[in-house]
Structure 1
Amino acid sequence: MKNIGIYLVLLFTIASCESDLNQVPPLEAESSSLKSYAEVLNAAYHYQQASVTPLAVMGDFRADNMLMKEAPYPAFDRFDKDLAGGDLVEQFFRPFYSNLYKSILSANNVIDNSTVAKEVGEAHFLRALSYFKLVKAFGDVTVNLSATPSLSDKSILTRQPAAKVYEEVIIPDFLVAISALDNSSLSSGRASKIAAQGMLAKVYMQRGDFASAAPLLAEVINGASAAKLGLRPNFSDVFGEANDLNSEILYATQFSTSINDLYSFSQFSEWFKGNDTKSPNPLDPDLITAFDANPGDLRKDVTIDVANNKGKKWGSLDQDWIELRYADILLLYAEALNETGSSAATVLSILDPIRTRAGISVLDAASLDTKEKVRKAILDERRLELALEGQRWFDLVRTGTVDAEMGQTVNTNFYVFPIPNSEVLASGGAITQNPGY
């Protein structure tokens, strides 16, 4: 039973205008008369579901973990303007784009009107998470922080620099969430203090601000025991519907087949398993090679099915999508320490429990004796630990290793993805397309 989705009452937030950014549903003017905003907050959670399948495809199929087979979808494996063509941009990027803005609008309603501090904290978390996903995917984005944006104010359609969105929206929102929340809701799947700390650290890492990330990651690690968080004994225990909301999960987007996930024609698990006709036999041989470089790695058989050329980490359609887990925190902490001058021995020791759980030997600090070597070792470890979790492409972009890992020179225009053409057209050109598309 899913704790959030089952009891959703979408109220007025289900409605939208042609352009989802400036949607103002018909009942919006009456929102301040509501006595309870719990259902509006649930809507903000619910809209996150539609971001998951596109995010998974962007994170792994754009990178060197998964492949597309059926035209025109191999455009995900190329780096040119074709990715913006026709069905591709509307099928993958419009649900991602439009539903995140719906989540933002729902969060705005709670922030502006609720008198329940915990609800407001969760809404700030969800708004920050939404903008974080949007900025990683598209770079500069439009910003709306009002529950009742004016349809006549075209300035809200102007895309804001990503750096400004980080500084003025994402970071402040996560900081508010950290102050407003505790960890009592971890087992229910709702936003928590430690999840907000972890997400903010991930934001700092995405920006290359290792000095800000390191102490925050240390706080998460030091507070994990009290929050009943840590690595699961077995890697296989992290995944599967039966393991949803387990003790390694800081935050996950919940799924239930009893609730329309707003991306009804497909779901992330089916893409990885090759059950969608656009990506039969989707496993990239390069990922097999990466696992084979670590003989005996127990993660391989949990993650991929080499015989049938598919991924297997995700099973049931009711399985939650993991947004942040403890192993990711450890890997990020090791990376932050390496970038801020800690010794190889100190840094690599943080990876020891991850590698021991995987059944492989710990890394030797004597042979990885430079920052560059340790950096590459951490990136490789992230690939194997987090494969098929929508992380790989965004890791390559933020670490500046796209060309080296993809084996080709990629124009930086294609580090981000195309804005849905429907949004550009609906805005009358106020929303501009990314260069190269």
Structure 2
Amino acid sequence: MEENPVGLATAESYYTTPKGIEDGLKAAYTPLRGFYGRQEAYFLTVTGTDMYTNGFGGATNIPDINNYSPNFLGSHPYVRVIWDNFYVGINQTNAIISRAPQVQGINEATRSRIVAEARFLRALYYFHLVRQFGDVHFTLEETQGVETEARRTPVATVYQEGIVPDLQYAVSNLPAKAQEYGRATKHAAEGLLASVQLTLGNWAEAEKMASAVINSNDFQLVKNYIDLWDINNDVNSEVIWSVQYTDDPLTNGPGNEGHLYFQFDYTRNPAMIRDIENGRPFQRFMPTNYTLKLFDLSKDSRFDGSFKTVWIANREGTINGKKVVPGDTAIKIVLNPVSDAVQKSVPYWLIDFNDKWVAAVTDPLEIGGASRRQFPTLRKYLDPLRTSVNATDGRRDFLVMRLAEMYLIAGEAAFKQGNNAKAAEYVNVVRTRAALPGKVADMQVKATDMSQDFFLDERGRELAGEMHRWYDIKRSGKFIERLMKYNLDAAENVKATHIVRPIPQTQIDRVSNPGDFLQNPGY
């Protein structure tokens, strides 16, 4: 008997209808959640940089990426996860782009918008792949059936024939405001193209795209920097484009896991137990000394806006012989040295900073102490709305692009064109927002302050932990220099090889033409 399954949906049958092609487009967004807010991607964008090294959990569980260890090879599961995830996305976008022109029952504006959204996503997926891996397999055609041949296309070709024209099309065909929040828009495409052109060294184009977003007046900087990280305010006037998570466990999947990884272990304190507000501390990522010294606390709000340094007791305990009750201070971290006598006299843990390399500290009341367990917590991903103290499925949206970065891109691009005065003007908009009350004038920078290192520092102050840093130090040409100077864990092993990641061994093993698909040199 031959079966005739009437409910079997295939691309050939389902993507031919207006609803089918829209559903297919929605599926093309799914791989975003396999990257933004996931541990694998944080390791490949945040650590192994001048700003972040391994905390206790990173050093214990996944040390090799930050350390550029000889053990960081194509067999590492994190490179495979990123690679496979993005190629799933690329194939889905290719399907939508190739099939949308044949769909009956939609007008041309809708058709163009569908294709433009898919091309935006395809460009984003390829943009990550070429920056992580260098030359990659490049196709603009949907894979149907089994294909076993692959070739590594030069990075320049992927930009010229894929990423840039895709984004130019998206800029021309996407609406300024999406009907559904979270879909790609014209301004998201402009913002991504600004980042692409900055990476390519096309300074005038980078400034043009970033300033187009700025001058659209569709976005405004939120008044206070810290308000960006209010979990009840993750849809705000500064967000150009974000990846959505939800409080619905049926659709949130693993969720935004960022709340797990940037935290120190406050539960070792006698007056603290794990709770929802303070989070579940996996202690993967610890700020470097460079990061801790990057902010002028006398005038810049962004350190306190980015990092949590005070914890309030949530149970009774005894610290330094003194009784501590809920509501009292249990832990305070400061960015300066404090005498042992003072540390022993206060009724809380007073953790200080003596500018020793944070990973080599032995004093438990010092940043980096207790085997890398003591450090300021990045507040940008804290999630007090989780359902339980052990829940890992965070619901915070991931802010992929926001207006402040557009000012920094425009400023850096202007600087690269020799227009330092204009560059300072862009930057000062961001620094004005960052100023402490009464310190706006003190926060202004001048044309003579502009340099490549200044822009790396300023992006560090504004964007710490937001998945830009590995890409920033790479495109700046200061990758080795910055790691040797500021990340002593990485400095032992890092070399020019590490400007790209190893190609996943699973990819190399499964091609039928291995001579055309070689591993990156040095791996």
TM-score for both structures, normalised by structure 2: 0.71
Aligned mate of 2:232, from 236, 242, 247: 242
Indicate how the Cα distance of structure 1 residues 407 and 146 shifts in structure 2: closer, same or farther if over 3 A, else same. Answer: same
Indicate how the Cα distance of structure 1 residues 411 and 405 shifts in structure 2: closer, same or farther if over 3 A, else same. Answer: same
Hey, what's the Cα distance between the residues in 2 that align with 1:380 and 1:166?
27
CA contact (8 A) 1:107 1:123 kept: yes
CA contact (8 A) 2:43 2:66 kept: no
| 1:339 counterpart = 2:416 | yes
Shift of 1:320: 1.2
CA contact (8 A) 1:49 1:261 kept: no
| 1:42 counterpart = 2:52 | no
What does the per-residue CA deviation read over 1:167-225, in whole Å, with 9 as the maximum and x for residues that have no partner? 100001101111111112187111000110111111010111112212222222211x1
CA contact (8 A) 1:60 1:388 kept: yes
| 1:290 counterpart = 2:280 | no
Question: Could you tell me which amino acid in structure 2 is paired with residue 109 of structure 1?
Answer: A
Rg larger in structure: 2
1:324-335 equivalences in 2 (<5 Å): 324-335=401-412
Matched position secondary structure for 1:273: coil
Shift of 1:384: 0.6
Aligned mate of 1:304, from 300, 303, 307: 307
Q: Higher helix fraction: Structure 1 or Structure 2?
A: 1
| 1:179 counterpart = 2:172 | yes
Hey, what's the Cα distance between the residues in 1 that align with 2:173 and 2:154?
28
Hey, what's the Cα distance between the residues in 2 that align with 1:426 and 1:222?
48
| Greater Cα offset, 59-68 or 376-385 | 59-68
Match of 2:136 in 1: 141
Hey, what's the Cα distance between the residues in 2 that align with 1:62 and 1:276?
23
| 1:314 counterpart = 2:314 | no
What does the per-residue CA deviation read over 1:327-356, in whole Å, with 9 as the maximum and x for residues that have no partner? 1100010000111111x3322121112112
| Greater Cα offset, 238-247 or 188-197 | 238-247
CA contact (8 A) 1:29 1:148 kept: no
Question: Could you tell me which amino acid in structure 2 is paired with residue 27 of structure 1?
Answer: T
CA contact (8 A) 1:97 1:134 kept: yes
Q: Percent identity?
A: 28
Structure 1 unaligned blocks of 5 or more: 1-10, 13-25
Question: Could you tell me which amino acid in structure 1 is paired with residue 411 of structure 2?
Answer: A
Match of 2:274 in 1: none
1:34-433 equivalences in 2 (<5 Å): 34-36=17-19, 37-52=21-36, 53=38, 54-68=40-54, 69=56, 70-71=59-60, 73-84=62-73, 86=75, 89-90=76-77, 92-114=78-100, 115=103, 116-149=111-144, 151-152=146-147, 154=149, 157-185=150-178, 188-223=181-216, 225=217, 227=218, 229-257=219-247, 258=249, 264=254, 267-274=257-264, 279-280=283-284, 282-291=286-295, 293-306=296-309, 307=333, 309=375, 310-316=377-383, 317-342=394-419, 344-359=420-435, 361-365=442-446, 367-368=448-449, 373-407=450-484, 410-428=494-512, 429=514, 431-433=517-519
Structure 2 unaligned blocks of 5 or more: 1-6, 104-110, 265-278, 310-332, 334-373, 384-393, 486-490
Shift of 1:106: 1.6
Shift of 1:400: 0.8
| Greater Cα offset, 348-357 or 145-154 | 145-154
Match of 2:522 in 1: 436
Shift of 1:28: 4.1
Hey, what's the Cα distance between the residues in 1 that align with 2:230 and 2:522?
39
Indicate how the Cα distance of structure 1 residues 261 and 140 shifts in structure 2: closer, same or farther if over 3 A, else same. Answer: farther
